Structure 1
Amino acid sequence: MTEFTDMGVAAIRDGVRDGDFKAVEVAEAFNARVEKAGALNAFLVTTPERAINAAETVDKARADGGQLGSMAGVPIGMKDLFCTDGVETTAASDILKGFHPPYESTVSGKLWEAGAGMLGKLNLDQFAMGSSNETSAFGNVVSPWRRNDGGDAKLSPGGSSGGSSAAVAARLCPAATGTDTGGSIRQPAAFTGITGVKPTYGRCSRYGVVAFASSLDQAGPMARDVRDCAIMLGAMAGFDPRDSTSLNAPVPDWDAALSGDLKGLRVGIPREYRVDGMDGEIDGLWQEGAQRLKDAGATIVDVSLPHTKYALPAYYIVAPAEASSNLARYDGVRYGLRDLPEGADLQEMYAATRAAGFGAEVKRRIMIGTYVLSAGFYDAYYTQASKVRTLISRDFQTAWADCDVILAPTAPSAAFGLGEMVGDPLTMYLNDVFSVPASLAGLPASSVPAGLNKQGLPLGLQLIGKPLDEQTVLNASLALEQRSAFDAKPQEWWT
């Protein structure tokens, strides 16, 4: 029989439902694998007992003839941005170290109701601010992948959901939650050879998710293939009255409707995504991806998204501005870290707490955000960026007249080495160049592993769809997955 830890969401759920094995056996196998993978630093907190308890509940329900949920028996990793009742939630920041929420995020609660169990909380870039998982207060996550040059250089798993991507790629969990503000599900998925889906903004509740940029943040699934993501997204999505941005729309059965037959589908290739200096291997794979979708029955068309070049600068105004507002709540008064120098007044306590608790990248973005929102600069920066965001959304609306889904690279390169870009924030920000436009427009988008580069590292392709049309994104992703036949996985070195 296949090792439990080589199974994905669908295989585990179906095996438990059919009585081929017990959920507890699966939980025990993944717990043991997590315990041996400390070198990856993917988990901040492990919760083996919660995984076992959830599995026992599923096994009892099956034995009693009860109804099993769509994630029954599947142990998952939870990005440490989701509040979990009684389990430490830090957003990978010292300022929240020791914080145990007395409530559950809506997304995690839905997953537990669907029968999933929690293996632990996953590392990330601090407050989800980063593209390499090097800003965590608790150390870098290390990708399970290595270059094929015989060296042992440690590589980035992408960010901010780097703990999630590394854990899924290393078979520490069959799936994990991620959040995507400007590409933080898609880019790490591309770096580690897994699949990630950012749904339409508002599909998944933000209640109980530590906020970065409220008009952009969106939760989504990260798993080994498209079907597993469709199953998990179905469990995560749904209207939540506690989130004012939640969409009151029915949740389709994306898994049941999955099809790789793209006959009649129009796939757009945006000419503005061919940026200067693009990696030749990325460009070649993009062209191959278009041919694979054509082979699945799709028609390939050229489209224009003329304001693409303004997306990244607009994003790095809007997101820091919202971050500066959201992170003002961390003041050392109500929860989290409090740094109170002797004789300090209230303002001095605020300053000392934030200086000690926030990392360098978080401080950088707070300062940028505070600056662009300040008197005299608000109209010059934030108002202009908001207008550009509207134009980018209109570009996509215009493009939908000519196509049904858009194909583009996910990231401008394969995974880079830890430390290679940490001293150059601007170069690091360019990692989001292909993923940010869909985020600004609130559109559903996926990343699917489509090949390896010459160094043996995964490369991903991105599919962007119309609002609330996750089904087309998933179907096109499935067609690409089937024809890419990506089955590479990292050689195990970390145990």
Structure 2
Amino acid sequence: MSDLTKLTIAQARDAMRKGETTSAEITSACLSAIEGADALGAFVHNTPDIATKQAKASDARIKAGDAPAMCGIPLGIKDLFCTKGVPSQAASGILDGFKPEYESTVTSQLFDAGAVMLGKLNMDEFAMGSSNETSVYGNAVNPWRRGNDDTALTPGGSSGGSASAVAADLCLAATGTDTGGSIRQPAAFVGITGLKPTYGRVSRWGIVAFASSLDQAGPMTKDVRDAAIMLQAMCGHDPKDSTSADLPVPDFEAALTGDIKGKTIGIPKEYRMDGMPEEIEKLWADGTTMLKDAGAKIVDISLPHTKYALPAYYVIAPAEASSNLARYDGVRFGHRAQLAQGDGITEMYEKTRAEGFGAEVQRRVMVGTYVLSAGFYDAYYNRARKVRALIKRDFDEVFADGVDAILTPATPSAAFGLGEMADADPIQMYLNDVFTVTVNLAGLPGISVPAGLDKQGLPLGLQLIGRPWEEADLLNTAYALEQAAGFVAKPSKWW
């Protein structure tokens, strides 16, 4: 078979079962593609020896006839997931040299299912960013270009390396994490599918923490069917994670009938932002028509506390980050600063953290520490928690009224150029999360589906938000939208 790297998970699974190809062949093709793609900055730690060994074992399993769906599928793993004996740095200088002695629950479940690890993927430092420009490894680059313009574009963040690698066919799929949109926004920027499951559906154990009440891992794949297949392998109750839900894992792929007749789709009026580009407005209207034509009932809904979501998020997330990142002090693992004669433990903490953390992480840790401090805890942090409860209630009321899913844009624009927002007010960058953060604050599942191209030929995505724990239903609605949109565009190879 030619173009093995272009296969979807479903196509590769079926081809390997029929004996048309092997995991070893697909893995070798992916490793070759990665070698020639340094310009994308997607893979930051390559693991060809591990990949070759895992592929060989997967082929034996497939031959024996007892292989799960993910068996033999070559994946990229975001650098936020701890992988035993392989650098796991969260793209930060402070974790330089850290090789965990354990495997995250998500990666161990994927490897138990026979998946193959090609290497670790670039990301924003500690998952803090929307453009993959805060990484200690340097920028990840979007494989798409604007028309004939050579400007390097962002693949989005924080899962920018994952997005770039999947869109450029360096791997068949990748893991991502989503704290405020970090799976869905990059997926939209590169024209792939990105799913953030319900909070608690996928274990967080062994994933470097950013904001513990918001973080959730999910699949980044070439299409909706692949997202369903990969999600199934990632899910399940984990006693090591106290927030992991003890719920049965449905057969997500079996739910993909494409039949959404009688489903009710809500269109929230608060997501019509001032200054929203016409192309995003049109895409949203087109998506609404597609779902209507597929037999869904479209209703206008109100989520009145939406306008408070970004400010609440940017209080809660930094507060949790400042607490989680306190453990990086140069004592137990990772980077430790060189100390001068007479320096004590305080100087060691200060120098290590100043050297190890990048500017965006320092900014968020300082904001978080401030909002948790004695005089400001009630004024900021507690108030933000109350707003969060109201945002969740808005969604609960809409779902109680019979809405099955909510359709919104995934991002306020197409991918922008790397460096174009570097000198802007950080708030401009934070506005990239305007359509996605509410989903994390409410703990809901959300999926970004590529649905069209802008006038410069860049991909645009639509977001569907589902009821809690109903990923199967959400995936089916996304599948219907994907079928109707018929998005098949791929970036032209320049790297």
Please tell me the residue identity of whatever aligns with 1:225.
D
The 10-residue stretch of structure 1 (52-61 or 352-361) with the greater mean CA deviation from structure 2: 52-61
- 1:92-491 to 2 correspondences below 5 Å: 92-148=91-147, 150-342=148-340, 343-400=342-399, 401-424=401-424, 425-491=426-492
Write the distance in 2 (CA, Å) between the matches of 1:287 and 1:60.
49
Q: SS in structure 1 opposite 2:395? A: helix
Q: Shift in Å at residue 295 of structure 1?
A: 1.1
Does the CA-based 8 Å contact 2:146-2:458 persist in structure 1?
Answer: yes
2:42 maps to amino acid:
A
The letter for the 1-side match of 2:410 is: T
CA drift at 1:423:
2.2
Letter paired with 1:367: M
The one-letter code of the counterpart of 2:58 is V
Counterpart-to-counterpart distance in 2, 1:474 and 1:167: 22
Distance in 2 between residues matched to 1:436 and 1:226, nearest whole Å? 22
- Cα distance in 1 for partners of 2:386, 2:179 equals 19
**d(CA) in 2 for partners of 1:256 and 1:50?**
32
* 2:61 aligned counterpart, secondary structure: helix
- Deviation, structure 1 residue 61: 2.1
One-letter amino acid matched to 1:316: Y
Letter in 1 for 2:405: V
In structure 2, C-alpha distance between the alignment counterparts of 1:151 and 1:488, rounded to whole Å = 18
Contact kept? 1:239, 1:247, Cα under 8 Å: yes
By how many angstroms is 1:21 displaced?
1.2
Q: Is the 8 A contact 2:194 2:220 kept in 1?
A: yes
Mapped to 2, the partners of 1:169 and 1:66 lie a distance apart of: 31
- Tell me how far apart the structure 2 counterparts of residues 403 and 185 of structure 1 sit (CA, whole Å): 24
For residues 107-156 of structure 1, give each alpha carbon's deviation from its aligned partner in whole angstroms, at most 9, with x where no partner exists.
000000111000000000000000000000110001000000x2200000
Q: Distance in 2 between matches of 1:108 and 1:272?
A: 38
Given the two structures, how large is their TM-score scaled by the length of structure 2? 0.99
Question: Tell me, which stretches of 5 or more residues in structure 2 are unaligned?
Answer: none
Equivalent AA in structure 2 for residue 194 of structure 1: I
Alpha carbons 2:166, 2:221 under 8 Å: kept: yes
- The aligned residue for residue 56 of structure 1 is 56
Mapped to 2, the partners of 1:465 and 1:2 lie a distance apart of: 38
Letter in 1 for 2:113: A
Q: 1:428 and 1:264 mapped to 2: Cα distance?
A: 39
Q: Distance in 1 between matches of 2:59 and 2:282?
A: 48
Give the aligned residue type for 2:230: M
Counterpart CA distance in 2 for 1:296 and 1:261 is 8
Is 1:89–1:101's contact at 8 Å kept on the other side of the alignment? yes
User: Is the CA contact 1:93–1:358 (under 8 Å) kept in the aligned structure 2?
Assistant: yes
CA contact (8 A) 2:62 2:71 kept: no
Shift of 1:6: 1.0
* Aligned counterparts of 2:422 and 2:88: Cα–Cα separation in 1: 25
The 1-side partners of 2:227 and 2:465 are apart by 15
Q: 1:373 & 1:117 partners in 2: Cα distance?
A: 42
- Distance in 2 (CA, whole Å) between partners of 1:398 and 1:151 is 46
Deviation at 1:372, TM superposition (A): 0.2
Write the letter of the residue equivalent to 2:458.
L
Conserved in 2, the CA contact under 8 Å of 1:69 and 1:113? no
* TM-score, normalising length: structure 1: 0.99
- Provide Cα deviations, 1:212-257, integer angstroms capped at 9, x if missing partner: 0000000000001000000000000110000011001011000012
Quote the Cα distance in structure 1 between the aligned partners of 2:61 and 2:458.
42
For 1:431, give the aligned amino acid. N
CA distance in structure 2 between the aligned counterparts of 1:397 and 1:460, rounded to whole angstroms: 25
8 Å Cα contact 2:255-2:473 kept in structure 1: no
Counterpart-to-counterpart distance in 2, 1:208 and 1:422:
32
Structure 2 Cα separation of the partners of residues 295 and 262 of structure 1: 10
Preserved CA contact (<8 Å) 1:17 1:68 = no
Question: Which consecutive segments of 4 or more residues in structure 1 shift more than 6 A?
Answer: none
CA contact (8 A) 1:16 1:72 kept: no
The alpha-carbon deviation at position 2 of structure 1 amounts to 4.3
1:121 partner letter: K
* CA distance in structure 1 between the partners assigned to 2:2 and 2:483 by the alignment: 21
* Structure 2 residue matching 1:256: 3-state secondary structure: helix
CA distance in 1, matches of 2:456, 2:164: 18
Cα displacement (A) at 1:170: 0.3
